[in-house]
Structure 1
């Protein structure tokens, strides 16, 4: 006999509280616990959050980078009951301020984030490279970074006519970003989480 898990609607997901500190993504109506990741995972996300904030300031853009704190409601399989929580999200300050008094999830009818980053872990490799890449493209997020400390590669996906063109960077190669044109970071620096 198999126990079935009740699928949640998006509204139920937003209100869900199991009394723990566990953070969940909603995928096809099912709660998927998010692992904390390794210390390296967190260091990379924090390094990119700070680096992106520095670039926003240099460019004079009223943008902000946020680490592990903004969800993105996502289409999946023709249904709208999926919500991802990227490791880093870059959005306008206005978007961030609009989330101050409601669940920090960018809805389908709202302007998508400018850039999202996923840091790959053993458990998320397939999802980060395949599922999330497809979902973020459908949402028209202009740039998606896949930072992979396992393969020691940073892949920058740029949205072109509804699909992502990907460029992979390794070692001392400077990362090419359409969002941050003056970014002066190598793949090695991102993977080490230090300049």
Structure 2
């Protein structure tokens, strides 16, 4: 994640910051170009993401979009979209997947793009920043409370690199987690056919290079189709001449 949703004020300190309702937060406009999450009515600023953080998110969006397209699923992949988890609490995961119809409902609402209570995404992803407790404890509790089917934590910190998948397993009351380490392939509960390598997620290739490679393959395929079409037309013409 870009920054913790955990409270940044100690109880013994005097908290003079304003307390917002969820509806006030939905239409809140900051004057400092900072994005805020909401925790129990308090605005929590989000720090600017690192370059690696940004690359990981872009790569995951790229892979998820292609997976959804290949399987013809009416789902969308979004970033910077909030998820309301309690009455006055709203997280902003780095990446989320929700239904297309749900996203269209969000588009029709005024204010910030936030999934309200009952508007549950299928998957949320957080990339761990300096505040590790926020992703492993605070946000785990929030997404579990909101009944998000799958919560993925990407931890790129050297010496602690791993990807944790938290999901609701039949027979369990809350999240059950599985850790995947470098050299392994993650197994998604919501998207079991999704193939993602831990190494590529933690050290992702440039999406721009992946798109270039796709375009090169497409052009090569189109050229082969054109050659085959010309060959077919030539054979047909030769056959016509022979019959004459």
Q: TM-score, normalised by structure 2?
A: 0.73
Q: Secondary structure at the match of 2:96?
A: strand
Partner of 1:97: 104
Residue number in structure 2 paired with 1:187: 198
CA apart distance, 1:42: 0.9
Task: After TM superposition, list the pairs within 5 Å mapping 1:62-77 onto structure 2.
Answer: 62-68=74-80, 70-75=81-86
Give the CA deviation at 1:3: 5.9
Q: How many residues align?
A: 188
Give yes or no for contact 1:25–1:84 (8 Å, CA) kept in 2. Answer: yes
- Tell me what 2:233 maps to: none
Decide whether aligned partners of structure 1 residues 34 and 59 sit closer, same or farther in structure 2, where only a CA change above 3 A counts: same
TM-superposed CA distance for 1:61, in Å, is 0.8
Going by fraction, where is strand more abundant, 1 or 2? 1
Partner residue, 1:134: 141
Deviations 1:123-161 (A, max 9, x none): 3x1010001111111111111000001121100111124
**Alpha-carbon distance, 1:34 to partner:** 0.8
Structure 2: gaps spanning 5 or more residues = 1-12, 211-244
Q: Which of 50, 59, 84 pairs up with 1:38?
A: 50
Greater share of helix: 2
1:106 to 112, 115, 119: 115
Q: Measure, in 2, the Cα distance between the counterparts of 1:3 and 1:117.
A: 30
Q: Distance in 2 between matches of 1:8 and 1:113?
A: 24
Say if 1:176 and 1:183, in contact at 8 Å, map to a contact too: yes
Length-normalised TM-score, structure 1? 0.91
The structure having more radius of gyration, on CA atoms, is: 2
- The alpha-carbon distance between structure 1 residues 193 and 162, as it changes in their structure 2 partners (threshold 3 A), is farther
The alignment yields a C-alpha RMSD, in angstroms, of 1.6
Pairing of 1:83-94 with structure 2 (within 5 A): 83-94=90-101
Query: Structure 1 runs of 4+ off > 2 angstroms?
Result: none
